Amino acid sequence: MNITCVEVREEEKIFFEQELPTAKLLAEKLDSSMLSTIRDTEILCVFVDSLVTKEVIDALPHLQLITTRSTGLDHVDTAYATSKGITVTNVPGYGKRSVAEFALALLLTLSRKIFDAYHQVRFNGDYSFKHLRGFDLGGKTLGIIGTGQIGRHLAQIARGLEMTVLAYDVQPDPAIATSLGFTYVDFDTLLSGADIISLHVPLLPATRHLLNRDTLAKTKPGVYIINTARGELIDTTALIEALNSGQVAGAGLDVLEGESELKDEVELISGGQQMADVQVMLENHILTDMPQVVVTPHIAFYSKEAEREIVQTSISNIKSFMKATPTNKAQAL
Ligand code: NAI
């Protein structure tokens, strides 16, 4: 079959070349200018910066499978693809260790002012500790929103650090809460009870701007926010206001609203985008410059172990589709 894989990193290439030698491998993300050159594609393999919209799907008339090398599916119009009989698959659950450990890394970076200390020593040769007092995680309350694969693994880590864990999920799993020692509460109780809130839900219409001006006002003053899920879960304007007022003391963000545009600002400026996109881009710069904010470039998934699992699962998704027994089929949400 005619296979096109986009956003292929060098480290992934060798796996695809061995297992799917006829696949066309492109380093670039999917964009409208490449559609005519990949018109014959029957299997399209993408990553998170490639937006598989209705227009893209319509421009690829032979498309039978869209497979994303990610857990999140918010960049794929799954409903439209499914309505056209196109199968959509993803890589569920690979990231539980990589992403949960990364969320902890962001949290420890904030709680113990690791970056401030590093910069002070490295760039100023200053070994004083006057401005570097942090706080312990043990004894604090972590609020986890979304207790799927990643959220529950973070709960387990947090319990190991002697934290109290509150959780909220639309589909709670009481058995896992009992075995890991965390407590399900309603959304508002989590907001008011947590010293730190970590987001682990998919981006859906119901979760877009889950943290906004109203919900941030219900949090404990001085709360810390960790986001390794999707940038659009947080209203960036509201987060900046809350950081400025001190309602939010700090934020560790691996994902930002509109982050794919941020990676290519030239395209954003020349592409006739909406003013709202430009506003989010400017706000992202403001966030990135705030001393109490740590931003990383969507790398929580990017560990040796997770990368291998992602590529192998994606290849197996493609091969099983070709044998007419598709695995990891996604539903339109
Ligand atoms: P999962 O599917 O195992 O868990 C998601 C959980 O969210 C489920 O328990 C579900 O019931 C819950 N949920 C759904 N809608 C909700 C709502 N409205 N309110 C509360 N809970 C809700 O997913 P997993 O593997 O834990 O990943 C979570 C998210 O993390 C992914 O959707 C993806 O966006 C993001 N992710 C980010 C990565 C990164 O590199 N930064 C890497 C991998 C995933």
* Distance in Å, CA 308 to ligand 1 centroid: 20
CB neighbours of residue 162 within 10 Å = 11
With a Cβ cut-off of 6 Å, ligand 1 is lined by: 71-72, 93, 95, 99, 145-151, 168-171, 200-204, 206-207, 228-230, 254-255, 298, 300-301
Quick: pLDDT tens for 99-131: 999 999 999 999 999 999 999 999 999 999 999
pLDDT at 143: 99
Distance CA 283, CA 280 (A): 5
Residue in 74, 201, 233 to alter for ligand 1 test, most ligand atoms within 8 A of Cβ: 201
For 311, other C-beta atoms within 10 Å of its C-beta total 24
Q: What residue ranges of the chain are covered by domains with CATH 3.40.50.720?
A: 3-94+304-322, 96-295
pLDDT in tens, 245-267: 999 999 999 999 998 777 666 55
Between vectors from CA 12 to CA 9 and to CA 15, what angle results, nearest 5°? 155
> For the structural domain made of 96-295, what CATH number should be given?
3.40.50.720
Contact status, residue 46 vs residue 89, Cβ threshold 8 Å: no
- For residue 13, pLDDT over 80 is answered with yes
Q: What are 183-237's pLDDT values in tens digits?
A: 999 999 999 999 999 999 999 999 999 999 999 999 999 999 999 999 999 999 9
Instruction: State the burial class of residue 97 (Cβ atoms within 10 Å of its Cβ: 0-12, 13-18, 19+).
Output: middle
CATH number belonging to the domain at 3-94+304-322, selected among 3.90.550.10, 1.10.15.40, 3.30.2130.10, 3.40.50.720: 3.40.50.720
pLDDT tens profile 43-98: 999 999 999 999 999 999 999 999 999 999 999 999 999 999 999 999 998 879 99
* pLDDT tens for each residue of 278-302: 888 899 999 999 999 999 999 999 9
Residue 10 has pLDDT above 80, yes or no: yes
Instruction: Share the mean pLDDT of the chain.
Output: 94
